[in-house]
Structure formats: C-alpha cells, structure tokens
Structure 1
Amino acid sequence: MSHPDDEVLVDLALGSDEPEAGAREHLDHCDECLRAVAELRRAASLVATSDTALGPYAGWSAPPANVWSRVAATVSAGGGGDPRPAAPRPVMAGSGAAEAGGAHPGTAPQVVRLEDRRSRRRVWPWAAGMAAAGLVVGVLAGRTFWASPASTDSSTGSTVAQAELDTLDTKQRLGEATLLRTAGGVDLRIATSRPLDAGDGYLEVWLINSDGKRMVSIGVMGGGEMGSFPVSQAMLDQGYVIVDISKEHFDNRPEHSGDSLARGRLPA
C-alpha cells in the first residue's frame, strides 16, 4: 500500500479544506497514517493553546553546561570538532499531551496502539517528540507547521449525531458534542456551557470505544468554550463513539489521567 507524503498528512492534521485527492479515503483504511495524523494534530493543538494551557511551563531555560560538554566529547570521539555554539540556544521547557488510557475515572484500561511505530519511518514520531518538549516548529517543504483553530460554525456541515456532555458523578450537563459531515470529511465539535477548569494542566478530548477498553486522543481544548476536531469515519465505524473531556497534567505520562470532567455517547 502506498501512503500519502508527510506534507499531505500535515495538511490533514491542520484541517486543510483541499487535501490531496484520495488522502481522506486513505485514512479510512490505514491505521498507521490515521495514527500519524492524530499525533500531528495533538502537537499542533498544544502549540495553538500554548499561551493559555502551558502557562509557566512555557518559559525558556538554558540547558545545563554539561550538556554541551557531553555533545562535544561525543563528536570529538568520532573525529569531529566542538559543536558548542557561541551563544547556546535555549530549549523550551514543558511536557506532552496524553494519548490513551482509562475509560472510567480513576481507572486505566488497556491502551491499544493502532499500529507498530517501527513499521515505517514517518514525520509523526518527530512531531510527537517535539510536542513532548513543548516546542513544535516543524518545517515541511519550506512551510512552517503551526496550528490554526478550526472553524466551529455548524453551518459548514450537516449534523450526523449529537450527544450531551455531562459530569460523571452528578450528571450535570456541561455541554454538547456534535458530529458534522463537511466537504472535507467528519468533524467532532465541542461546545461547553462554560469554560472548563484545567487547573495547572490542560484539557484533552478523547474518543472511547464502546467496549470501554480502548480510546484515542483527538486533540487538546483551548481556553474557550468551543473546539473542533477532525475524526475518521473508520474510527466511528469501529465503535469510538464515547466523547470524553479530561483534565491532564504536564507529567510526561501518555495515559488518560482518569480525571474526566465530562462525557457523552454519540448515538450509533
């Protein structure tokens, strides 16, 4: 099976209105590329919300002096010179977004990976790694990779399904999830009745499988009350119909935190 170029996957992750012909259809049949787009989308979402979500974690800090010494020693051992720059560039402090985890608060069901990451080298492991470092500035084909918020105007698509988003303990309604079919594919749009409190972390949106054992992160909510996330029809067909919004921490842990703020099930 031939796969789309990395740049095409980036276009899909950023919600391009005119992706390469057949690219979206390819995602419906290729778990590997679907996973790649999810990783890129998560990285882009973190960048897009960095001003509000990362807070004090987004500060710049210089690496310890021994970092450059170790790099220089390694390069010298291989016959190279001292790579230490005249003015070391700082690195972004921070942490990455969660990827998968429990289907119930306080629990952690099995994380099911959609493919073997080693099967084919693509750009998405790079993007995930940069997201974990808190810095996503990828340049593909001469184009800088930055995220722009997706449209939340429901007039741009036809409604396929809706679900109320309620708290798990008191069943208080906090918002609504709407599945829309657009010219470019399928979008899941979240609207909450008020901004949800992420504390010192961030909010992540998940699709949980109806079996209660598998889930996939589809993106990070910003500081507002609305968000839009492209999803694959293949995921919906496989039973990923439970929408979950969780509070996550900058702790380098890929699992769902178990702290779900709201959840709702899309009708089949």
Structure 2
Amino acid sequence: MRHLDPETAALLALGEQSTSASERAHLEACAACRHEVAELQETVTVARSSLGEAELQEPPARVWQGIQRELGLSAEVAPSASPPVLSLADARERRSSRARRVVAPLIGVAAAAALIVGAVLTWNAASPRLGEQLLASAELEALPQWTDSTGSAELAQTASGERVLRVSLETGATGDGVREVWLLTEAVDGLISLGLLEGSEGEFVVPDSVDLERFSIVDVSLEPLDGDPTHSGDSIVRGPLGA
C-alpha cells in the first residue's frame, strides 16, 4: 500500500494542491493518512490566524510536551519565551515558490507536529511513558508461510487521551515490498490500515472513530509496491488484543 508522501500531505494541508482521483481514493481508505492531513491542517489554521495578526502566537503547551516526550528531551528544554516576529512585508519577500510560502518558524512547528502524529513513529521501549494506561496487548503468531516470525502489540491510552498501538516484529525472512499494520475483525470481513512498519518496531495512532471491540485483531502483512491500497493477503503475524 503506497501512502501519501510527506510533501503531498503538507501541500494538501496548506491547500496548495488539489487531490487526484487516486489520492482521494487512498484518503477514503486510509485512516492513518487522513489523520496526518487533519493534524497538519489544524497546525496550518493556527499559524495562518497568527500571520493575519502580523505576528506568530506561541503553540499550545501540549505541542512542546509531545515533542519533549517523543525526542526524549528533559523537562528543562522549552521553547523560547519570545518567539521571533515576522512582518507580512518580510513574508511576501521570502515567497520564492509555493513550497516556501510558510515562514521558517511555522515550518519548524509543522515539522514537529508531523513527527509526533505521522502514520508511523519510531519508539523506544525502554523509555518511561508517564500518565499512560495500558488498555490491551497481543501476542502475534506467525502465519504458515512465515514460520520463523513472531511479534507483539500493546494498546495504550496516553495522558492526553490519544490511543496508540505499539507493534514489535521479529522475522528472519525477507520479501519484496513493505510491511503494513492493520486492525481486522475476527471474521476478517473488515479491516483498517494504521500505516507502514519501518524497521522492527513502530507506534501508530488509533483514531477515536475505530471500534476496537469490533476491530480487535492486529495484523502485519507484506505489501507489494504496486499502488494497490487493499490488503495483499500475505500476512506475516496476527493476534487478538486482550486485557
């Protein structure tokens, strides 16, 4: 399954690019990409309202707290109390292309937001996650064609109320394509893509709209790079979430 690249997601959030038929179809099918574009649109809305007042407003404290948590920074690291102010005249002079229509401070905020909410975040299992609640876990068992593989998954609720699924995969086998994480129904008659697993571990945001009582099976599959967003049918590991 080919997801939207970061540049396309950013341009869609900025309103600088119209969606093609294939992109619209992908956004309808992929909750992870819809979530990423929506988060970036929220950041752009806040930033543009600030530019309309001729100065940038300080981002909410939760943005910096999320950046500190994901990057493992100490609590003493904080944004400057006096963010730089850019006049509208200066902003116009710096617009050399549509990709540079957002001033540097905004680019920094948008990049940080994308790091936190992107379809896939790398994570460190040894790092403490204060205020989190473990909701469920799963032992992921290998499918017949991937007998040397194993995995695990943990579903947690963060201090901010966001649900995240952390997946770990160990496999000695390789194949052409990418690994994708899904939530399936027990009858395998419904599925939701959470995003691509890069490396052996990954963290994925589970949208509030997803009913985890129905979509209770975690699945990791090998997907060919053919542009088809549907499940390939080649599952590596799979297992049910349980308390």
Greater percentage in helix: 2
TM-score between the two structures when normalised by the length of structure 1:
0.45
TM-score between the two structures when normalised by the length of structure 2:
0.49
